[in-house]
Structure 1
Amino acid sequence: MEEQVALIEHACAVFENPSNQAAHQEASATLLAFRNSAAPIGVCQHVLQSSSSEQAKFQKQLTGTVAVLLKRGWVDESPEERHAFFSEVESTVAGTSDAAARRTGIEILEAVVSEFAPSTASPLGLAWEQHDRCRKSLQQHYLHTFYQHAATIAGETAQAATQGQDQGVCSACLSLMAAVLTWDFRPGNGHAAYLGTRPASDSLQVQPGPSWRGLLLGPDSCPWLHPLLAHLHNQPDSVLAQRARQLVVSLRAT
């Protein structure tokens, strides 16, 4: 298993720096095999726990690479295959008491949101039409579920988070929720001009539609959020407090 960990670590590093085409193709093949393994999320968690690299940097590399590989195969995969992947992520997050595994699953979902959003997407050498098809598909079929899933887990872990006992799960959920809320829900092909760049500050960002109203504005929408902020009033500079405030700002903007 240690050999597998080292192999995936190396492949992630090479995949991010494609100056050597042959090495990049070899790394891509290694990571595709990892992506298509029977339980990639479980393998991902094991790799992160066993990695000899600096943890935060490698975790970002690995989750980002999973998102890139998912996007590369998005058009060719069936809806059932996509659903199976996300079902595994969600079951890992919801069905385990392992906080590190839950956090990893949430961070993979956020990496997917970032990779599929045109303003933060990697070019990947793909045609614009493929980027746009991926964006539309994620927006129509998955974003709502991602947000709802993160909100549920955040509510379950908020109290433990105030005591530093959730290993960052709640904070990861807040970050995912904010990422979903900053998604530009513009229909059509309006993103082509700024693929990989953030929209100008004066551009109009389209908010979620009516189907989101109950989730975002209903009486049971994030009842834990303001109590969480109240608990964190003595820790205003903590990552958890900053993410909670950002989520409040994003919710008010919807």
Structure 2
Amino acid sequence: MCGHFRLKNDPTHVYFADNTDGPMVQFQAAAAICEIILREFSAYQTLDLVSLKNFMLNYCLHRPNLPKYVRDQLVLAVATIMKRGFMEWTETERENMFTNIKELWDMNDEQAPVLASALSNAYVDQFSDMKARAVGLNWEFHHKCKVWFEHHMLQRLFQHSLQTLHRQCHGRENVAIASPTPDILFETVTLVEKILHWEFDETSDHAALPGTSGSGSQNNNSDLDSDEPDTRL
């Protein structure tokens, strides 16, 4: 597992040392990683990017006291890596997005399911039209990413989040109403809300979630056939 990320064209090193305790330093380093990934993505090997992604997830997992704003910036960096490299990843590497989340959800660890829901939130944001971070690529790239996410990720995330909510609500039947809301409950409710507000692509003929349906219009490919030039998002 890599402990630092070397910038090939810059003398600066973006790294997280295991003994780093300053939340603002951690936050700024994670933000810098996002910027570097977007600016210099093609300069890095796939294995380096996968190692960095895994390092950041492990960093969050083993630090239960990490402030939420730091953790959210780290999982945003992970989601940015996966979105920016979407066309370069194999189908197995894409599928690992969900595999990583499911492994976290299934861990017998209090922090892991929270991280799973936070990471899921970051992926939903990045692959949607609402909060996707600009990655310097054209509309067709974003469209393909979004359609793949709808077909391969969204329903499974929804199902797991509902299962998590069921377990949490069942376990809190005798908990006082005024008691603090667990982090896992907050993150999962947020995730469910985002998924329910997902704007499904109008070219999709298939229901991405139970009880929903694509528009299935006769002009399914109208966006792709448009003569309008690509805009860089």
Which TM-score band applies after superposition, normalised by the shorter structure?
Answer: 0.5 to 0.7
Moved more, 155-164 or 125-134: 155-164
In 2, the alpha carbon distance for the partners of 1:108 and 1:122 equals 15
Q: CA deviation at 1:165?
A: 8.1
8 Å CA contact retained: 2:53, 2:81: no
- Counterpart contact for 2:60–2:71, Cα < 8 Å: no
**Other-structure match for 2:229:** none
Query: 1:100-153: CA deviations, max 9, x gaps?
Result: 111011110111001111121111111211111100000011100000011011
Please say if residues 100 and 167 of structure 1, whose CA atoms lie closer than 8 Å, have aligned partners that are also in contact. Answer: no
Question: What corresponds to 2:169 in structure 1?
Answer: 158
2:75–2:118 Cα contact (<8 Å) kept: yes
Q: CA deviation at 1:38?
A: 8.6
Number of aligned residue pairs: give it. Answer: 186
CA, structure 1 residues 211+112, in 2 after alignment: closer, same or farther (shift >3 Å)?
Answer: closer
- CA–CA separation in structure 1 for the residues paired with 2:88 and 2:19: 28
1:21-51, CA deviations, whole angstroms, 9 ceiling, x for partnerless residues?
Answer: 79x759x96xx846435945334312x4365
Provide the C-alpha distance between the structure 2 equivalents of 1:119 and 1:37, rounded to a whole number of angstroms: 26
Aligned identity (percent) is: 19
Q: Contact 2:155/2:208 (CA < 8 Å) preserved in 1?
A: no
Query: For the residues of structure 1 that align with 2:208 and 2:53, how far apart are their CA atoms?
Result: 37
C-alpha RMSD over aligned residues: 3.6
CA drift at 1:78: 1.3
Give the Cα separation in 1 of the matches to 2:48 and 2:142.
23
Partner of 1:213: 211
8 Å contact from structure 2 (residues 161, 192) kept in 1: yes
Aligned mates of 1:149, 1:178 — CA distance in 2:
14
Letter in 2 for 1:45: L
1:108-119 to structure 2, matched below 5 A, reads: 108-119=119-130
Q: Which residue of 1 aligns with 2:98?
A: 86
SS in structure 1 of the partner of residue 61 of structure 2: helix
Distance 1:210 1:109 in 2: 16
Q: Name the residue aligned to 1:185.
A: 200
Alignment counterpart, residue 42 of structure 1, candidates 35, 55, 58 = 58
Task: Name the CA distance, whole Å, in 2 between partners of 1:5 and 1:186.
Answer: 45
Query: Does the 8 A contact of 1:154 with 1:173 survive in 2?
Result: yes
* Correspondence 1:164-243 to 2 at 5 A: 167-188=182-203, 209=207, 212-213=210-211
Change (3 A) 1:168 1:72: same
In the alignment, which residue of structure 1 is the partner of 2:17?
A: 3
Q: How does 1:66-145 map onto structure 2 within 5 Å?
A: 66-93=78-105, 95-145=106-156
Gaps of 5+ in 2: 4-15, 213-233
Deviation at 1:56, TM superposition (A): 2.1
CA distance, structure 1, for counterparts of residue 64 and residue 48 of structure 2 = 20
Contact 1:160 1:166 in 2 (8 A): no
- 1:5–1:124 CA distance, 2 compared to 1 (3 A): farther
Structure 1 residues 63-120: Cα deviation after superposition (integer angstroms, max 9, x where no partner): 1111111101111111111112321211211x22212111011110111001111121
Contact 1:45–1:104 at 8 Å: present in 2 too? yes
Deviation at 1:166, TM superposition (A): 7.7
CA distance 1:188–1:210, change in 2 (3 Å): closer
Query: Does the 8 Å CA contact 1:109/1:176 hold for their aligned counterparts?
Result: yes
